[in-house]
Structure 1
Amino acid sequence: MNKSNLFIGFLVGIAFTIGGVLLFTSIFSDYSFEKSIQNSLVNDYFGKLIAIGAILNFFPFFLYLRKKQIYHARGILLACLVIAIFIAIIKVIYN
């Protein structure tokens, strides 16, 4: 039961990060989503874009803590850790 709750929290964390990236690019970019992602890769701010998108993970994290669903909250933390490692790998590859 705890592993499935952890996995659900992980999926929620990844989904909120993707949603945050979509939301941020749709509000603050004049280009389409695909063009914005390509532009961020070329101009070396793709990691920053993902990090800004990950800010939305605060909402489900604190909601799960408030509801005492600790394993869901741990899954969101795990998703944030995986995203941070992904950003570090992207920085190493593109620099």
Structure 2
Amino acid sequence: MKKELLIGVVVGLIANVIGLYFATSFFGNGEDVVSVLKAASFEGFLGKLISLGAILNLLAFFVFIKKRQDYRARGVLLITIIIAVSTFVFKFI
């Protein structure tokens, strides 16, 4: 049970990183990812980019639900909630 939850968390993190890469590539106007993330942090919309990256977690969540792997889906949901709370806290700090 804990192993399945951990697999879901790892899949959620990987999906978020891939989604963040796609978001920075789309909104970066041809710049590299690091410079886009630095500019986003400086201009105050890094949390929005991270939230856009979490969209791929929906895909992973529904794939796990469809395959009836509920604990893995819980792990993806858990990491999505953690990312949402951390971006909320990051915005107000």
For residue 18 of structure 1, what is the aligned residue in structure 2? 17
Matched with 1:57 is 57
Q: Hey, what's the Cα distance between the residues in 1 that align with 2:43 and 2:27?
A: 16
Letter of the 1:27 counterpart:
F
Please, what TM-score do these two structures have when normalized by structure 2?
Answer: 0.94
**Structure 1 residue matching 2:44: 3-state secondary structure:** coil
The amino acid that maps onto 2:21 is: L
SS of residue in 1 equivalent to 2:54: helix
Structure 1 portions without partners, runs of 5+: none
Q: Which is worse superposed, 29-38 or 65-74?
A: 29-38
- What's 1:76 paired with? 76
The two structures, once aligned, show a CA RMSD in angstroms of 0.9
Q: Report the TM-score, using the length of structure 1 for normalisation.
A: 0.92
Equivalences, count: 92
Asked whether 1:28 is paired with 2:27, we answer yes
Quick one: which amino acid aligns to residue 75 of structure 2? G
Provide the identity percentage. Answer: 36
Which deviates more, 84-93 or 32-41?
84-93
Structure 2: runs of 5 or more not aligned: none
State the shift of 1:67 in Å: 0.5
Which amino acid in 2 is paired with 1:74?
A: R
**CA distance in structure 1 between the partners assigned to 2:11 and 2:35 by the alignment:** 26
Q: Deviations over 1:4-23 (max 9, x none)?
A: 10010011001101100101
